[in-house]
């Protein structure tokens, strides 16, 4: 092993995979690159890390600078360092991801991005660098995670119908779920509380409104060891 | 954002968290550093990444060079880049981890390591850099993972008793499990096949031998969506 003075150094970037859930389904935030390489291509928001900031801070800063979205909770996803992944040379990128309610989050492009927009997650344009691969891994992580963490509940209004919840799971898992099975399983978790009310302003057959029982979820989390297979 | 020529560059390392399961319980592979900083301290095997190799290749190479252990399956864990984590300056480290059967894996120190040894995972010496924090995160990942992936089964002989399986889970989860509950849950998964035989060479009350039903596990994996809460 060389001493640190002799070690060759890569450029280090962060890239942010931000999913938004809204009426139009699952969407992904992309920026249009204002400079080479891949000038004019769509890409994940991101950029070079500075020496005096942590990796997560760099991800939050770049996301804010390029899209105007701030204060999102970003979770580290994976670090991409295959030789040849960037035409500029040796560039290693730490990817972060977030899943947020899209409502009210209107990105505004700035700095190196000429545009910043939400795209339907199942109809993305061609992406710069290996960003398609980064997105693929983020979708995989999201699909695994939604099975054992109640992150889906953060994306719905405080009170929601089982139909809304099913559409959310279908959007994330990328395909239709059997309605009867879904209801049985989700109610079987014992994490939904029936509010006793029904949705208003619908033409007919108003559905029951449920609420997520956070206290019960916390108790389950603290509970005995359980297999989750 | 600066152009790539202007971007400041960190040194980039990999660190390997290798857990071994054996008769003595859960163990962790450490090396003793042969050079500054932290010369003489115990640390995770690892070192600088080279430009022409991927991150996983670098982790495998460093593990092999410093401990003689090769061909382990290493999974990327997390990337550590807090300012100040390395006294030499800006050093970002991509951590990898593995869980292996310790039997027959005798590390031999070489290159920058003056010693390479297995330590009991619950009685580690003081570690260099932020390696204690890296190990803490690896233990957390391991404990989460053992609940939804059958990785534990890789660590036992092909045929094993429920007592051996319980000791493995207790070793990984770091505390005793109720025997009756454990048996009910693990048999309830439907992934264990009773071989019809009992262990030999024990003084009395020979326990049943089980086998992991991989085919059934694969079928379950392909199956319908299931919550794992």
Of the candidates B4, B62, B191, the beta carbon closest to that of A11 is on: B4
Listed range (A166-175, B78-87, B121-130) with the worst mean pLDDT: A166-175
Work out the number of other CB atoms within 10 angstroms of the CB of residue A228.
13
Name every chain B residue with its beta carbon within 8 A of the beta carbon of A51.
8, 10, 83, 90
Q: Is A26 left (phi over 0), alpha (psi -120 to 50) or beta?
A: beta
Looking from the CA of A117 toward its CB, the CA atoms found within 13 Å total 10
Give chain A's radius of gyration (CA, Å).
21
The answer to whether the Cβ–Cβ distance between A79 and B76 falls below 8 Å is yes
* Residues linked to residue A16 through DSSP beta bridges, in sequence order: A96
pLDDT band at B229 (very low <50, low <70, confident <90, very high): very low
pLDDT band at B13 (very low <50, low <70, confident <90, very high): very high
- Mean pLDDT for A24-39 is 94
State which of A135-139, A192-196, B71-75, B155-159 shows the largest mean pLDDT: A135-139
pLDDT band at A153 (very low <50, low <70, confident <90, very high): confident
Statement: residue B99 has pLDDT above 50:
yes
Looking from the CA of B130 toward its CB, the CA atoms found within 13 Å total 21
Q: Which residue of B3, B6, B10, B110 is the best one to mutate when testing the A interface, meaning the one whose CB has the most A CBs within 10 A?
A: B10
The answer to whether the Cβ–Cβ distance between B1 and A112 falls below 8 Å is yes
Predicted local confidence at residue A229, as pLDDT: 38
The answer to whether the Cβ–Cβ distance between B1 and A111 falls below 8 Å is yes
Structure tokens at A133: 């691969």
- Nearest residue to A43 via CA among A104, A99, A95: A95
* Beta strands B25-33 and B42-43, pairing class: antiparallel
The answer to whether the Cβ–Cβ distance between B92 and A7 falls below 8 Å is no
The residue of chain A with its CA nearest to that of B111 is A1
Is B34 in contact with B112 (CB distance < 8 Å)? yes
Cα distance between residue B29 and residue A172, in whole Å: 39
* Beta strands B208-212 and A208-212, pairing class: unpaired
3-state secondary structure of B183: helix
Chain B: nearest CA to A202, how far in angstroms? 30
Give chain B's radius of gyration (CA, Å).
21
pLDDT in tens, A35-60: 999 999 999 999 999 999 999 999 99
Predicted local confidence at residue A203, as pLDDT: 73
B71 or B209, greater pLDDT: B209
B111 or A151, greater pLDDT: B111
The answer to whether the Cβ–Cβ distance between B225 and A147 falls below 8 Å is yes
Work out the number of other CB atoms within 10 angstroms of the CB of residue A91.
19
The residue of chain B with its CA nearest to that of A46 is B1
Name every chain B residue with its beta carbon within 8 A of the beta carbon of A227.
147-148, 185-186, 189
Predicted local confidence at residue A200, as pLDDT: 85
- Cis geometry, peptide bond prior to residue A37 (ω within 30 degrees of 0): yes
Statement: residue B134 has pLDDT above 80:
yes
In the DSSP assignment, the letter for residue B7 is -
Predicted local confidence at residue B185, as pLDDT: 84
The residue of chain A with its CA nearest to that of B45 is A1
Global ipTM: 0.91
Of the candidates A81, A112, A225, the beta carbon closest to that of B54 is on: A81
Of the candidates A3, A78, A227, the beta carbon closest to that of B185 is on: A227
- Mean pLDDT for B10-24 is 95
Name every chain B residue with its beta carbon within 8 A of the beta carbon of A191.
229
Give, for B61, the enclosing helix (H) or strand (E): helix B55-67
pLDDT band at A67 (very low <50, low <70, confident <90, very high): very high
Q: Residue B201: phi, psi to the nearest 5?
A: 75, 20
pLDDT band at A167 (very low <50, low <70, confident <90, very high): very high
A221 or B180, greater pLDDT: B180
The answer to whether the Cβ–Cβ distance between A12 and B11 falls below 8 Å is no
Sheet of A208-212, strands arranged across:
A159-160, A208-212, A192-198
The answer to whether the Cβ–Cβ distance between B55 and A79 falls below 8 Å is yes
pTM of the model: 0.92
Predicted local confidence at residue A227, as pLDDT: 52
Predicted local confidence at residue A30, as pLDDT: 97
The answer to whether the Cβ–Cβ distance between B48 and A78 falls below 8 Å is no
The answer to whether the Cβ–Cβ distance between A55 and B81 falls below 8 Å is yes
pLDDT band at B205 (very low <50, low <70, confident <90, very high): confident
Statement: residue B174 has pLDDT above 90:
no
Of the candidates B9, B148, B177, the beta carbon closest to that of A225 is on: B177
Chain A: nearest CA to B134, how far in angstroms? 14
pLDDT band at A16 (very low <50, low <70, confident <90, very high): very high
pLDDT in tens, B25-65: 999 999 999 999 999 999 999 999 999 999 999 999 999 99
Structure tokens at A70: 């701030």
The answer to whether the Cβ–Cβ distance between A10 and B47 falls below 8 Å is no
- Nearest residue to B47 via CA among B188, B35, A195: B35
- Mean pLDDT for B108-137 is 94
Statement: residue A5 has pLDDT above 90:
no
Query: Please, what is the average pLDDT of chain A?
Result: 90
Give, for B186, the enclosing helix (H) or strand (E): helix B179-188
Name every chain B residue with its beta carbon within 8 A of the beta carbon of A1.
47-48, 62, 65, 111-112
The answer to whether the Cβ–Cβ distance between A12 and B9 falls below 8 Å is yes
Cα distance between residue B65 and residue B34, in whole Å: 13
């Amino acid at each position: 092993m060389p001493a640190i003075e002799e070690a060759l150094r890569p450029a280090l970037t962060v890239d942010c995979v931000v999913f938004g859930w809204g009426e139009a389904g699952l969407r992904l935030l992309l920026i249009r690159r204002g400079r080479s390489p891949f000038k004019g291509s769509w890409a994940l928001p991101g950029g070079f890390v500075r020496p005096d900031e942590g990796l997560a801070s760099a991800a939050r800063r770049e996301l804010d600078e390029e899209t105007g979205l701030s204060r999102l909770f970003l979770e580290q996803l994976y670090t991409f360092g295959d030789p040849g992944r960037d035409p500029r040379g040796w560039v290693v990128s730490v990817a972060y991801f977030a899943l947020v309610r899209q409502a009210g989050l209107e990105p505004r492009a700035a700095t190196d991005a000429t545009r910043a927009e939400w795209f339907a997650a199942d109809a993305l344009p061609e992406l710069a660098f290996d960003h398609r691969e980064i997105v693929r891994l983020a979708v995989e992580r999201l699909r695994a995670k939604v099975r054992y963490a109640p992150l889906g509940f953060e994306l719905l209004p405080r009170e929601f119908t089982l139909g809304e919840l099913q559409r959310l799971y279908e959007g994330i898992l990328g395909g239709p779920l059997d309605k009867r099975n879904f209801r049985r399983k989700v109610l079987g978790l014992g994490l939904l509380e029936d509010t006793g009310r029904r949705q208003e302003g619908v033409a007919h057959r108003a559905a029951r409104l449920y609420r997520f029982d956070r206290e019960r979820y916390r108790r389950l989390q603290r509970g005995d060891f359980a297999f989750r297979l």
